[in-house]
Amino acid sequence: MPNSFIEQESKLSSRRYYIGIWIVTFCLFAFGSIMIFSSTSAQQLSKGLPVMQFFVTQVAAGLAGFLFMFIFQKFNLKFLEKVIAPVGLLLALFLLACVPFAGKGENGNKSWLLIPGIGQFQPSEFAKVAVVLWFGLRLGRCIKEGSINHIGHIFAKWESIVILLILILIIIEKDIGTLIVYLIFIVGMLYLSGCTLKVMIPITILGVFVGYILMHSSDNRWSRVLATYSGECNIYSQDTLCYQVNQGLYALGTGGIMGVGAGASRSKWGWLPENKNDFIIPVIGEELGLWGTLGVLFFLGLLIYFLFKVVARHPDPGAKMVTCGVICWLVAQIMINVGAVLRIVPVIGVTLPFISAGASSLLAIMMALGIVLSFARTASNADMEIVKQKMPRGVVATTTKPLQTSEIQKIEARARSANYSSAKNRRGSENTSRRRVH
């Protein structure tokens, strides 16, 4: 069997995941934009404001995000490591350093910068892309060098100091939700890289300690924690700290299995605070029911599945770790957002990826997916460029084993079928030619 057939099958398989990420991203963005319009139109109408305001902002951010995805997926691994990662970290640090002096506050957090003529954006969201990219590539290099269990070697670069400064600036902003997401994907990347506990435990303890201090630094935050875990937030509670969570649960209960119908939510008429951001899931559950809510989670899970496939197929440890970082980032935000709605974790202001309103969050996630698309696009080519060895019947084996035994058997069966059909067609053509001659 020719090696070109194996290469063609490998490219085809990687192409499926590449296209799958594009399709699922578009579906999530489109559905999220529609639900943002549904959840905000009632309040905007009652206040005499433009009904399409938040919808147009989200669509504009999504279109810009698709442009960034298209651009980022063209970058190769070397360019990402040498140029994009360090420049991104320095730019993120500069923007975050501007926030304490020129930033705008919202809900007790001062984490926004205003661009005249465009609007406000959140630098800490874009910093996630740079941190995930650089840290993933650094872990990949340590894996190659066999020094993944030496904490000093992992952080023995000037970029590590930049990441530390970024985290300190986020602490100064008092954005506890964003900080927790950072800590989760950093610890998650260390775990998935194969680090031992002696590396992970100090970082985890430090993160928990900082989070505890930040929670205690605000009476409102600590009251939310106590209200969530002390049992005070039951369905009969009239406490203002429990109001948002209770209204979200009322909305989910009202929707039931099938929902009350698209656009027919009653909670969005001023009853449910932040129904376009942190608590958009209750609006979806009320209008589209349990099936609609599970559908959203299914598509988010499908996107994560495609990302795991990129991890499994790409041979470079750096690309694997960057993709793992994006997975941990998405999982962290999904779990915190849904957990807050279900009263499992305190409400700390974390958006649901693609679904909640927020141009900064949407753009940052789509930039990260553009980087992953570059890995998905080049995975099949990288498979064939590693150390190649000939196996019986021409099967190509690599040190990273991108093709499993079952896949090889399927490919061999297709090749035999293709060769048989080709030979049969060739014999048929020869017989036809002989008859014509006679």
Cα-trace Rg, the chain? 25
Q: Which DSSP helix (H) or strand (E) runs through 419?
A: helix 405-437
pLDDT score at 423: 53
C-alpha distances in Å from residue 195, one per residue of 154, 188, 347: 10, 10, 31
Whole-number Å distance between alpha carbons of 328 and 304:
9
pLDDT score at 237: 55
pLDDT score at 388: 39
Whole-number Å distance between alpha carbons of 23 and 376:
14
Q: What are phi and psi of 175, to 5 degrees?
A: -95, 85
Whether 221 and 248 have beta carbons less than 8 Å apart is answered as no
Say if pTM beats, i.e. exceeds, 0.85.
Answer: no
C-alpha distances in Å from residue 45, one per residue of 251, 268, 275: 21, 12, 15
pLDDT score at 394: 33
- CA nearest neighbour of 36 among 280, 254, 264: 280
Whole-number Å distance between alpha carbons of 53 and 57:
6
pLDDT score at 433: 52
Q: What are phi and psi of 115, to 5 degrees?
A: -105, 115
What residue type is assigned to position 118 of the chain?
I
Q: pLDDT by residue (tens digit) across 189-241?
A: 988 888 888 778 888 888 888 878 877 777 677 777 777 776 666 655 555 66
Whole-number Å distance between alpha carbons of 362 and 371:
15
Whole-number Å distance between alpha carbons of 10 and 378:
11
Q: What is the DSSP letter of 278?
A: T
pLDDT score at 403: 45
pLDDT score at 89: 92
Query: Residues of the chain whose pLDDT is less than 50?
Result: 1-10, 382-403, 405, 408, 437
Phi-psi region of 243 (alpha: psi -120 to 50; beta: other; left: phi over 0): alpha
What residue type is assigned to position 135 of the chain?
F
Whole-number Å distance between alpha carbons of 315 and 379:
7
The two three-digit tokens of residue 126, written as one number: 């874009």
- Hunting for tokens 């890289």 — which residue is that? 193
- Hunting for tokens 């696009």 — which residue is that? 377
